[in-house]
Structure 1
Amino acid sequence: METFKEYNFLSPKIIQALEDIGFLSPTTIQKKVIPFLLKSEKDIIALAQTGTGKTASFGLPIIQKINLELDYPQALILCPTRELCIQITRDLCCYSKYISLMKIIPLYGGVKIDNQIKSLHNKKTHIIVGTPGRILDLIRRNELHLSNIKYLVIDEADEMLNMGFKEELDSIMIKLPKRRQNLLFSATMSKYMNVIAHSYLMDPIEIITGKKNIGSDDVKHIYYISNPNKKYLALKRIVDINPDIYGIIFCRTRKGTKEIAESLIQDGYNADALYGDLSQAQREFVMNRFRKKKLQFLVATDIAARGIDINDITHVINYNLPDESEIYVHRSGRTGRAGNTGISVSIIHYREIRILREFEKKIGKKFEKIMIPSGKEICQKQLLHFIEKVKNVVVDEPSITKFFPDIQKKLESFDREELIKRFSWIEFNRFISYYNNYEDDINNEIYSSKIDSSMIHVKKKKYFVKSKKLKKESFSKLFLNIGYKDHLTKLRLINLINEAVSTKKSRIDIGNIEILSNFSLFEVKKCYQKKILMGISKINHFGKPIFIKIKN
């Protein structure tokens, strides 16, 4: 197997940085692009599936070729979203961490421009990574000068025009020197790529791995058929049948994204939403939680999910199908990355089968139909998964031994079978109780009369669950020292409560929520009061300690 170390054209410092992050062997696209860029000044169009290492393909040669003695930007990398801008910057900094003089600055919207201007003034910048809008804004303020740019990279080039950046790109190009190398990178060859190539490139060389617009071989494509008003129920069954799922749920609209995330949180799942209206601080907060696996599900729109580069995402779920096959390729490419396998799931109506068949033809992959799992199948899968975890757990003998006599004494009246039943019930009463209330098969049109209509129509979901049987006296009102000025939303508050209590056994009964400017008030069932007071007081919100107390 060929390794980066065998590449005699990459500097030892770059090789050392790659080894530190576990990059030993180049991917197919890297094998083709890196040597070419190091010896040629020609423009290129590089097409490769997502997750195959495109950032390193252009990043490593550019880092190698930068003249550190010059004190002006020599490379400009344009990308469509803030998340992708941050991700590329993070990667380039990792690749160049042993090159002490290298300076890389990200420039994107959603944050104060004054701080970015200070960074430009205070640093001898070599590489700029930015979104078109913010780059153009800085140019117009005469704070960013690109007259010495030697290398221009347009990443996710097809998405640039799809998001309406043509005018900004044209304005930026005018400020760049004519003698430069242009590099276009994308996962798909759409009509937008042809427009960009014709407008900005000179006699480009195409470097393609695999076939154009083809999905990754490491991703399995499956679909479930559901009635539209049962789609949310189907989603819950799909995630419940996969105990170790860690994934992204794609929705078409911001409103749908928020509603699905709120519904999942309310039903006890560890989820949050990512969409365009969030501030940059909020988006980074959500992404950091997802990247650190403090969130199991990220519910996102297509635009917000650009630049999510996490190698161990197990599933991508298309709650709504995209309009174009190219977008589907980008979505499914969030999983099955860096040699891992993944699953792309679509929840569709019968009328959408035709769209899937078109996708099959265009991306060259077969979609497998799967029946929505029954409650019995889910409970069995979850129970066996739990038993497997028990079998494989490594016990810290010294720590548990001192408590073991007391444990034995407490449990001596139970036989082996009774103990297994009780421990299993503690872990699985939520699943069993929930699925006992529903008809076992939701693949047909008949539902039990026990189904709560608010569970079927996501739009009717509330931010809180208040049982009619609960009296007002059973609730406590709590005060928090953070409000909407601290980026607190009802959705995020529910997340904080779930994180504080850390219960999977039942849904927490939450009463009224009131988010004010500098503080918030909310009601919870009294039996959770102590846990919430202790749990939330240990949590920082955007770096701010949380003060919580009972409101009299």
Structure 2
Amino acid sequence: MTFKELGLRVEVLQSIEAMGFAEPTPIQQSAIPHLLQLESDFVGLAQTGTGKTAAFGLPLIHKVTDRPTETQGLVIAPTRELCLQISKDLEAFAQFDRQIKVVAVYGGTDIRRQMSDIKRGATIVVATPGRLVDLINRRAINLQTVETVVLDEADEMLNMGFKEDIDAILDATPDTKNVWLFSATMPKEVAAIAKNYMTDPLEVAMGHKNQSNENIEHIYYTVKERDRYDALKRLIDASPDIFGLVFCRTRNETATVAEKLAKEGYSAEPLHGDLSQAMRDRVMDRFRERSIQLLVATDVAARGIDVDNITHVINYNLPDDIENYTHRSGRTARAGRQGKSLVLINTRENYKIKAIERQIRTTFTAALIPEASEICGIQLNKLISKVKEIEVKENDIAPFLPAIMADFEELSKEEVIKKFISAEFNRFIEYYDRAGDLNVTSGRGERGERGDRKERGDRFDRKDRFERSDRGERGDRGPRDNGNRTRFFVSLGKRDGLNPGGLLRVICDSTGLKSASIGRIDVMPNFSFFEADKGDESAILSKVNGADYEGHQVSVEITQKKDGGSDRGRSGDRGGERKGGFGGGKSGGFGGDRKFSGSRDGGRDRDRKSGGFSGSKSSGRREGGKDRAFGGSRRFSDKPSSTIKNY
């Protein structure tokens, strides 16, 4: 079927041809012939990007041929962005009918100017609900001449709390008007509008009600909550040509994620309600021009975004309202193109995926966050393609070539290629060289993740469950050393940003060991411990020492035990003697080379110059009044020592 066969008048067909439209989409084929009738109410259910604007815009332009100075058509849209987009489309549809004037009215701009535009004559008014109600209250617009009212994205307007405004607007229009309602979903509130303000409407649904666009691939990834941001970066890195939207749940989260991405070199900007209208306009203009690769947005701020060629929609968090997922994913795969909707969930959110599948009648694919090696390969191929396709400006580079060739004379072709690739690529490789596996087995709660802690870096998810004070007062209740493991002391702790997963990555990346070789990990505020196979002692001491963790240098040494004591502080082996060492019950000492002695009664004072600790809770016998010092060979002693160094 062609547009001519739909029955549109000549001026409209000329506009269609000038715009390059080839043939009508399914929603246009179903809607336009019906909407061309004089008396016709209509309900159209179709996803964003299926051609809904033309489905109501072309017949609307077709019908308003006489009385161009009177407002005959009224289109209501939920957001300023959608309002502007619709008005531009209608102007394009009417480009060969100069009598038709389209006026857009919306909040955030001077209302007096909009009042003047309406007074000069507006054949079709495109408006947001709040601004239109304001104009009605000011008696600045006459809606009694309106013949057709279009409610576009009706479900979104109701979700945004515009029900009372819509009721007021429809009450201000004649009873003889036609109401055309377009929506992506059909909740009961939208059905109520159809019942109250429409007479025997024709309902056309593209697929089932609430069904998702078939050109969208829905994929979800299960990660731990704290790995959500790192997983987002990997999804972005795995798609170098991405041009997409990242949806967050709150304004604060939107601003935080966008800021972090920008600081790390990604082309990203936020879009949320705290931005001024001028800032929102600038961001949207840059996004439409593709000067921005990623737009990080809230659901409300992103409503009405009509941008072609969006390749990905990434759900950083799932929306609270399932129906909002339909609107999010509908921003991609527009006009018959392909697109992807990616979802990050934690281990307790699998039920949400099932609920969305039932709602939109589609199936999600469970996928794994790409591994570091896979991403590096993708980025390397992208870099090579970019180099091969780059334009060489022969005349500009010619004066510099002799000196350049002389500099590279000693290098072979292969060496030159390696060095140029490395100059651009080393930073990326080094970043992912420390990265671990972010995937979590679907369906298991985060508390159950301890069961496979030898295979993963993040061992203790329950916050502070095994947290101990700097004095070793309390230990974990995990398995005791079986004799085949060595316990190591690490100079970094929680205050340095260290976590069990981060420590595991440092160890494995530095030594090449598998995570199964590493046993229990205890991360405390100022330092940490971990266990490893005895056969790996030399590799750990030689390679982990001096390693970098987020700008901090890692120092590792073996924790030794004496006199049969364990290194679990107050929870240690009660068979040990209650003085120095870890086995001393309430001693709280470190054992061996890390002994505590002295009194629990003294005041605790830290001598920064000597690097020592003195005062209370040092362990040892309760009746003593001795100070303790921490330094030199990391011993705790009850006497000052000239060998004490800063710790």
| TM-score above 0.5, yes or no | yes
- Evaluate the alpha carbon distance shift between residue 149 and residue 108 of structure 1 in structure 2; reply closer, same or farther with a 3 A threshold: same
Which of 33, 36, 39 is the equivalent residue of 1:35? 33
Task: Find the counterpart in structure 2 of residue 76 from structure 1.
Answer: 74
Q: Aligned runs of 1:328-339 on 2, under 5 Å?
A: 328-339=325-336
* Aligned-partner Cα distance in 2 for 1:136–1:440: 53
* Aligned-partner Cα distance in 2 for 1:308–1:24: 24
Give a deviation string over 1:327-385, Cα, whole Å, max 9, x none. 11111110111111010000001111111011112212111111111222111110012
- Evaluate the alpha carbon distance shift between residue 97 and residue 453 of structure 1 in structure 2; reply closer, same or farther with a 3 A threshold: farther
2:303 equivalent to 1:292: no
Partner letter of residue 185 of structure 1? F
Partner letter of residue 146 of structure 1? L
* Aligned-partner Cα distance in 1 for 2:393–2:37: 56
2:442 equivalent to 1:431: no
Partner letter of residue 97 of structure 2? I
Task: Find the counterpart in structure 2 of residue 49 from structure 1.
Answer: 47
Q: Is the 8 A contact 1:223 1:368 kept in 2?
A: yes
Task: Find the counterpart in structure 2 of residue 102 from structure 1.
Answer: 100
Superposition deviation, residue 453 in structure 1:
3.9
* Aligned-partner Cα distance in 1 for 2:344–2:96: 46
Superposition deviation, residue 151 in structure 1:
0.4
Partner letter of residue 26 of structure 2? T
Superposition deviation, residue 312 in structure 1:
0.5
2:209 equivalent to 1:212: yes
* Aligned-partner Cα distance in 2 for 1:298–1:124: 37
Superposition deviation, residue 71 in structure 1:
1.2
Task: Find the counterpart in structure 2 of residue 446 from structure 1.
Answer: 457
Q: Aligned runs of 1:454-465 on 2, under 5 Å?
A: none
Which of 83, 86, 94 is the equivalent residue of 1:85? 83
Q: Is the 8 A contact 1:106 1:130 kept in 2?
A: yes
Task: Find the counterpart in structure 2 of residue 3 from structure 1.
Answer: 2
2:360 equivalent to 1:372: no
Task: Find the counterpart in structure 2 of residue 324 from structure 1.
Answer: 321
> Alignment partner of 1:148: what SS?
coil
Partner letter of residue 34 of structure 1? I
2:200 equivalent to 1:203: yes
Which of 46, 49, 65 is the equivalent residue of 1:67? 65
2:348 equivalent to 1:351: yes
- Evaluate the alpha carbon distance shift between residue 128 and residue 453 of structure 1 in structure 2; reply closer, same or farther with a 3 A threshold: farther
2:382 equivalent to 1:385: yes
Superposition deviation, residue 50 in structure 1:
1.5
Partner letter of residue 114 of structure 2? Q
> Alignment partner of 1:213: what SS?
coil
Q: Percent identity between the aligned chains? A: 46
* Aligned-partner Cα distance in 2 for 1:10–1:406: 68
Superposition deviation, residue 394 in structure 1:
5.1
2:197 equivalent to 1:186: no
> Alignment partner of 1:243: what SS?
coil
Superposition deviation, residue 310 in structure 1:
1.5
> Alignment partner of 2:334: what SS?
coil
Give a deviation string over 1:72-100, Cα, whole Å, max 9, x none. 11011011111111111111112222222
2:422 equivalent to 1:411: no
* Aligned-partner Cα distance in 2 for 1:403–1:20: 49
Superposition deviation, residue 468 in structure 1:
9.7
* Aligned-partner Cα distance in 1 for 2:88–2:139: 26
Q: Is the 8 A contact 1:438 1:447 kept in 2?
A: no
2:338 equivalent to 1:341: yes
User: What stretches of structure 2 of length at least 5 have no aligned partner?
Assistant: 441-454, 460-491, 502-549, 554-647
* Aligned-partner Cα distance in 2 for 1:137–1:38: 31
Partner letter of residue 2 of structure 2? T
Task: Find the counterpart in structure 2 of residue 112 from structure 1.
Answer: 110
> Alignment partner of 2:149: what SS?
strand
Q: Is the 8 A contact 1:117 1:143 kept in 2?
A: yes
Number of residue pairs matched? Answer: 458
Partner letter of residue 314 of structure 2? I
Partner letter of residue 3 of structure 1? T
User: What stretches of structure 1 of length at least 5 have no aligned partner?
Assistant: 457-465, 470-552
Task: Find the counterpart in structure 1 of residue 242 from structure 2.
Answer: 245
Superposition deviation, residue 157 in structure 1:
0.8
Partner letter of residue 153 of structure 1? V
2:316 equivalent to 1:305: no
* Aligned-partner Cα distance in 2 for 1:90–1:306: 17
Partner letter of residue 424 of structure 1? I
Which of 19, 22, 25 is the equivalent residue of 1:24? 22
Give a deviation string over 1:433-483, Cα, whole Å, max 9, x none. 221233355657415989974999xxxxxxxxx9899xxxxxxxxxxxxxx
- Evaluate the alpha carbon distance shift between residue 364 and residue 442 of structure 1 in structure 2; reply closer, same or farther with a 3 A threshold: closer
Which of 154, 157, 168 is the equivalent residue of 1:157? 154
Q: Aligned runs of 1:249-268 on 2, under 5 Å?
A: 249-268=246-265
- Whose radius of gyration is greater, 1 or 2? 2
Task: Find the counterpart in structure 1 of residue 133 from structure 2.
Answer: 136
* Aligned-partner Cα distance in 2 for 1:90–1:405: 55
* Aligned-partner Cα distance in 2 for 1:270–1:237: 15
Q: Is the 8 A contact 2:153 2:184 kept in 1?
A: yes
Give a deviation string over 1:486-537, Cα, whole Å, max 9, x none. xxxxxxxxxxxxxxxxxxxxxxxxxxxxxxxxxxxxxxxxxxxxxxxxxxxx
Q: Is the 8 A contact 2:231 2:438 kept in 1?
A: no
Q: Is the 8 A contact 2:309 2:334 kept in 1?
A: yes
Superposition deviation, residue 225 in structure 1:
0.7
- Evaluate the alpha carbon distance shift between residue 190 and residue 8 of structure 1 in structure 2; reply closer, same or farther with a 3 A threshold: closer
Q: Is the 8 A contact 1:157 1:196 kept in 2?
A: no
Partner letter of residue 365 of structure 1? T
- Evaluate the alpha carbon distance shift between residue 441 and residue 209 of structure 1 in structure 2; reply closer, same or farther with a 3 A threshold: closer
Give a deviation string over 1:110-146, Cα, whole Å, max 9, x none. 112122112222x321000001110000110111111
> Alignment partner of 1:30: what SS?
helix
Task: Find the counterpart in structure 2 of residue 478 from structure 1.
Answer: none
Superposition deviation, residue 406 in structure 1:
4.8
* Aligned-partner Cα distance in 2 for 1:159–1:441: 35
* Aligned-partner Cα distance in 2 for 1:112–1:359: 41
* Aligned-partner Cα distance in 2 for 1:263–1:454: 19
- Evaluate the alpha carbon distance shift between residue 118 and residue 430 of structure 1 in structure 2; reply closer, same or farther with a 3 A threshold: farther
* Aligned-partner Cα distance in 1 for 2:300–2:390: 40
Superposition deviation, residue 21 in structure 1:
3.0
Q: Is the 8 A contact 2:77 2:151 kept in 1?
A: yes
> Alignment partner of 2:13: what SS?
helix
Q: Is the 8 A contact 1:376 1:440 kept in 2?
A: no
Partner letter of residue 275 of structure 1? H
Q: CA RMSD in A?
A: 2.5
Superposition deviation, residue 313 in structure 1:
0.5
